[in-house]
Structure 1
């Protein structure tokens, strides 16, 4: 049975646990709002279900509450930033605020962010940029447990390594493409496992390298103590993009790449992110950009709709639709995930209702 909570109540309960884990009320409110926004957007994988892992990461010392961004280098159009293991929702927003201001001043900004704890839904940062009329590109790596197999490989060697592109559309809702380079996000496997669901064939391999539809193989250790792995989307193409995210988000940023055996006891999740911000107005192409972008998206959506679909959508449309629905109907949290959240609260002296 699922528990239905409305966003304000859910946010308040998550914030209470974060305060119990050591965050200031302001930080707790911002992190909780970000997590709930992910749920509202239809991405339960990046929502409040992450809270138990955050609490464990704080308790083990990997996540540092009340930590701000450190500026390592600032040349105006180049920013090198260190998240210092702070909440990704906090240092990520701080980084984007700096990057946006530099892009507005100079026309563009290339920004690296290293050592941020889990950044959450990367689309949130693209939404910050497009709201200011900027194009945004993000390449992210994940230092946690290697849960994705390389094309032709039989075990996990890297993370879900998301890629995100945000493009403003004058007078319209923006194009926000945000996706893991694995066929599905790891968090979606946690949700499926907690709900007792199987997943689509072709998504996973088990700890022996054989295809499986059991999401538990990447959520809990199997009989031999090993994990299975997610597959990259698009075979060698998605695999290639995942490697690019590791090299750009991990190596180029100085955040580090994955090249060590897994330690399932470690709960912290670290992200490195390369961000490129472009101001079309300063580039001198604003008028053509606006005209052509709208002409193309109109062309896409003016075509016939395939059987089984209601409309031709653009990236960002599903999230906006989910927000409207879930703001009205509430957010469903499965019983297992809610129990994990309650247990996380108990670890830091906070009692939530079951």
Structure 2
């Protein structure tokens, strides 16, 4: 796909494949919109390039279409939920709706979500919370092929285990529309709300590996090398070839990503495994990998806080904005255009890509076309 495609057209094509794979029209719209939203935000690693893996997971039985979140335990301000291996884009939003409602009543909510298929971009869940004036913290583990090496280790032992923190900044909304909720967008037609529809809040969303696994897939498909210090090969030696974590090497083994910040990122990754995996009941990784399995299972611990109920809302709103203003008022270093906060790059990408459309590399599009054929859908090459 060499030409830019409007987001709504790409969304419609993805939804068509999902429906053919067994999803209802509503579920397909939610998942497709969430994937395209990730592309719009500049995170192609979590965008429509994931569709081929999702289709394989459905066909293998590891991903269950049309499954909703199940309540295991409800203590008011504490929720234990199970995603039943449904699409993470669906059960993740359902879980957040429940948690947000409880935090509004009780002032806070501690929520675990187990057995969700790939939740996608966790920042979307944080955007849902900050749009309601809530602070949100998310710790996530990833049950799939282990692709990240422990600090001091020479092979993959766990996943990219993301951490996400959302903090609302009063008066910084770009519009009154709130976040572009994945399930609110239709699969066709024009969408004027595509651009500038998310408040300018603090949305810190990062993998605990130096880069996300999906970014290695994108780099491999584009034929690019990656920065030194990002990867080790199947022998445990440094490499810049992203293919070592995308396709099996000559000995059938894979290389591994490295954690960011040496022991610091590694510690965050372990915390994500223990909190998102062990505490949620979703499980942790401690077995040999089966590279033939396509399912990606996430467990997540979410903590939601309502500053209005905490009694510090006025000072919180004032001090948070004052600090961000202080950061941005400083001199700009050579090589940078501006001082930014977490969430700014995604908002800029969303504005630009919403206007210009989305471009996928040819290999990623070929994989999507192939996925469509597996469920009887013909997409244009």
Q: For the superposition of Structure 1 and Structure 2, which TM-score range results when normalised by the shorter chain?
A: over 0.9
Q: Distance in 2 between matches of 1:152 and 1:242?
A: 14
Q: Is the 8 A contact 1:15 1:28 kept in 2?
A: yes
For residue 72 of structure 1, what is the aligned residue in structure 2? Answer: 72
The superposition leaves residues 61-90 of structure 1 with CA deviations (integer Å, 9 ceiling, x where unpaired) of 000000001000111100000000000000
Q: Is the 8 A contact 1:149 1:230 kept in 2?
A: yes
For residue 115 of structure 2, what is the aligned residue in structure 1? Answer: 115
For residue 309 of structure 1, what is the aligned residue in structure 2? Answer: 336
For residue 35 of structure 1, what is the aligned residue in structure 2? Answer: 35
Q: Is the 8 A contact 1:3 1:335 kept in 2?
A: no
Matches within 5 A, 1:250-265: 250-265=277-292
The superposition leaves residues 133-155 of structure 1 with CA deviations (integer Å, 9 ceiling, x where unpaired) of 00000000000000000000000
Q: Does 1:94 align with 2:94?
A: yes
The superposition leaves residues 127-183 of structure 1 with CA deviations (integer Å, 9 ceiling, x where unpaired) of 000000000000000000000000000000000000000000000111000000000
Q: Does 1:239 align with 2:266?
A: yes
The superposition leaves residues 313-339 of structure 1 with CA deviations (integer Å, 9 ceiling, x where unpaired) of 010000000001001111110000000
SS in 1 for 2:360: strand
Task: Report the RMSD for the aligned CA atoms in angstroms.
Answer: 0.6
SS in 2 for 1:182: coil
Alignment partner of 1:225 out of 238, 252, 256: 252
Alignment partner of 2:327 out of 280, 292, 300: 300
SS in 2 for 1:142: strand
For residue 215 of structure 2, what is the aligned residue in structure 1? Answer: 188
For residue 63 of structure 1, what is the aligned residue in structure 2? Answer: 63
Q: Distance in 1 between matches of 2:121 and 2:3?
A: 23
Q: Is the 8 A contact 1:3 1:334 kept in 2?
A: no
Gapped regions of structure 1 (runs ≥ 5): none
TM-score (norm 2): 0.92
The superposition leaves residues 266-292 of structure 1 with CA deviations (integer Å, 9 ceiling, x where unpaired) of 000000000000000100000010111
Gapped regions of structure 2 (runs ≥ 5): 173-199
Matches within 5 A, 1:155-174: 155-172=155-172, 173-174=200-201
Aligned residue pairs total 354
TM-score (norm 1): 0.99
Q: Distance in 1 between matches of 2:76 and 2:347?
A: 33
